Amino acid sequence: MAFRPELMSKVTIAGPKQYMEACISELHKLKAIHIVDHTKDADADIGKPMAKASGLSEALVRIRSICSWLGIKNGKEHTVKSAKEAQKLGHLISSLFHEVKGLLEQSKEIDSKINDNNLLISELRPLADTGLKMEFFSEYRSIAYFAGYTNDAKALAESIKKITGTFSIYGSQNGEGAVAIFIDSKSRDKCAEALREQKFQEINIEKLRQFRGTPNEIISGLERENGGLNAKKEKTHSRFSEIREEHSEELLRAMDFLEKEVEKAEAPLRFAETKSSFVVKGWIPSKNVQTAEEVIAAKTGNRIFFHAGSPEKKDDVPVKLNNPKAVSPFEFFMDLYTMPSYKEIDPTFFIFLSFPILFGFMLGDFGYGLATLALFIMLRKIMPQAKNFFNILIVSSLSTIFFGLLFGEFFGFEEIGHFTLPHILSRSHQIEELLYIAVAIGFIHVNIGLLVGFANEMKSHGFRHAFLAKLSWLVFEAGLVMVFLSMLGIISLSYWFGVGVVLLSAALLFIGEGARGPIEMPGLISNMLSYARLMAIGVSSVKLAEVINEMSGKMFHAGGVMIIVGVLILVFGHAVNIGLGLLGSFLHSLRLHYVEFFTKFFHGGAKKFAPFGEKK
């Protein structure tokens, strides 16, 4: 049944440890069991991973590092067929790992050397202005020296003159620049203080003492060295891309294989284990139970205990949605929100019905529908991994085309040439009617939600509760309608009669849902009014299209170069409008489902069925 998630059986598998590996391997191949992780208790501890697990994980970490270093990304699924192939891949990986790691270290070393050289160059450059060879900056017994920047060389010279007569200054004589000051060593401290006052920035000579010759010579030497280093770096990078091109397919294949093997080797961590036996608990779709039991029995020579039972009320059953192929893309919306719980109705089918209608009603343009249909068919080919999402949009585009015909719109035009497109309702002229229709759609949609809620409550809490909690809302609606009709004089009843029905429904709700029920009563009206957005977004899209058409029309009339501008406005304008329309229609349609529709019946919160062995 499409309205219920797949039936699940609660499964317990137990057996002696020597059959554990075979059992795991079969379960992994079956991709049918959702394992419930065991937590340590008085009876049994969790299992220990298989002995080979640590080696496998280490290899996996290596592959992942290689892939991340080389920027290789995983795309499609790969399979490793034979043990021989796996061994070959293993050798390849360990040699690649060492090579890539070595290259990476080398490239890092080169980078740091280049950086060091650049730093030295930047420190040497100012010394070049002093015109001194580096030999001058050695250690003297009776001479002290300072090298650095100053803002005002003249003032500096003056202040040193006051301290001692025996000194000489090289470099900049006036204004700012680099200078080297040589003085007798006795005046060193005083001179340092004077320099501080002058805001002199000293260069650290220590590191530069290793060099001989003029700074310019040294700089060009260092630059030559950097050139060589850069060439070396280039070489390592080209080797990287070589490896990437040659081995990326194999690496991905090996990664896939190891991921599976590691999952298998670590599976016992999710089991219960005693000294000589293991127990797996989990869920298997009822239709697969028999095959699973047979396969495991065959591979282990009937040495495994296998028990399947139906879920109990307190069980947290994982949910696998079960919908026909046409509907299943819409399960995307449940993934996005949360899985329905095992007992309740799966809303996917309702979304399948109403999502395209709401979407089409908002975008509702024959031309836009054709354009988006073509776009999404193309995108589905380019991005097959997002197939479900694009299938939803393709169905929605078809609905857009349908509503475009109803509204008689083609890229915002209601007439082409002198031919007026036939329409049932014009969105740009009959705004008020459109509003009423939108709210009427809301009325229907919300009530469907309430009826689904009734069915849900009926199943879980019985008729009395279901009636009080859900059908009271229908009584409330009936009361409201009666009040309006009698006030407008359409039915000849006192409006107090309608008020009475409303009060009755409030009382029923209070019994059914407690104080929350009556408090939420105005919310029902706001929920329905919320569907007015169907009109609002539709009209804004039409009006924007009309403006684009009008603007480009004027350009066409002007003629000449303006025709090009007109074409640009037309193409660009409609592209933007389609983009906005898609975004708005999608999000608002989604919102109407999640907020207005789901709140009437949906609980959700179940875990998604995640079978052991399926790629995450």
- Pick the closest to residue 318 from 341, 338, 344, 292 (CA basis): 341
Distance CA 76, CA 256 (A): 10
Minimal distance in Å, beta carbon 527 to another protein? 8
Minimal distance in Å, beta carbon 526 to another protein? 6
Q: What is the DSSP letter of 592?
A: I
Nearest to another protein of 1, 487 (CB atom): 487
Strand partners, 183: 144, 167
Sequence-distant (6+) residues with CB within 8 A of 254 are 63, 80, 86, 89, 90, 92, 93
**Which 3 state secondary structure label does DSSP give 228?**
helix
Nearest to another protein of 261, 344 (CB atom): 344
Nearest to another protein of 36, 590 (CB atom): 590
Minimal distance in Å, beta carbon 595 to another protein? 5
Using CB under 8 A, list all residues that contact another protein: 336-338, 431-432, 435, 526, 529-530, 532-533, 536, 587, 590-591, 594-595
Minimal distance in Å, beta carbon 337 to another protein? 4
Minimal distance in Å, beta carbon 484 to another protein? 15
Minimal distance in Å, beta carbon 591 to another protein? 5
Nearest to another protein of 222, 393 (CB atom): 393
Nearest to another protein of 253, 588 (CB atom): 588
Sign of the Cα torsion 446, 452, 453, 454 reads positive
Strand partners, 420: 415
Distance CA 470, CA 463 (A): 10
- Pick the closest to residue 271 from 23, 58, 9, 56 (CA basis): 23
Sequence-distant (6+) residues with CB within 8 A of 253 are 78, 79, 80, 89
Distance CA 283, CA 176 (A): 81
Minimal distance in Å, beta carbon 346 to another protein? 16
Q: What is the DSSP letter of 311?
A: P
Q: 3-state SS string over 455-492?
A: HHHHHHHCHHHHHHHHHHHHHHHHHHHHHHHHHCCCCC
Distance CA 596, CA 474 (A): 16
Nearest to another protein of 255, 438 (CB atom): 438
Minimal distance in Å, beta carbon 434 to another protein? 10
What region does 434 belong to: left with phi over 0, alpha with psi -120 to 50, or beta? alpha
Minimal distance in Å, beta carbon 519 to another protein? 16
Minimal distance in Å, beta carbon 558 to another protein? 25
Nearest to another protein of 353, 595 (CB atom): 595
Strand partners, 15: 278
Minimal distance in Å, beta carbon 532 to another protein? 5
Q: What is the DSSP letter of 413?
A: B
Minimal distance in Å, beta carbon 335 to another protein? 9
Nearest to another protein of 339, 475 (CB atom): 339
For every residue of 94-147, DSSP letters joined together read: HHHHHHHHHHHHHHHHHHHHHHHHHHHHHHHHHHHHHT--GGGGS--SSEEEEE
Find out whether 412 and 546 touch, Cβ atoms under 8 Å: yes
Minimal distance in Å, beta carbon 147 to another protein? 51
Q: What is the DSSP letter of 384?
A: G
- 229-241: string of b/e by CB count within 10 Å (b at 16+)? beeebeebeeebe
Nearest to another protein of 9, 530 (CB atom): 530
Nearest to another protein of 335, 415 (CB atom): 335
Minimal distance in Å, beta carbon 6 to another protein? 21
- Pick the closest to residue 258 from 86, 132, 99, 104 (CA basis): 86
Sequence-distant (6+) residues with CB within 8 A of 300 are 15, 19, 22, 23
Nearest to another protein of 334, 475 (CB atom): 334
Q: 3-state SS string over 230-286?
A: HHHHHHHHHHHHHHHHHHHHHHHHHHHHHHHHHHHHHHHHHCEECCCEEEEEEEEEH
Instruction: State which H helix or E strand residue 184 sits in.
Output: strand 177-184
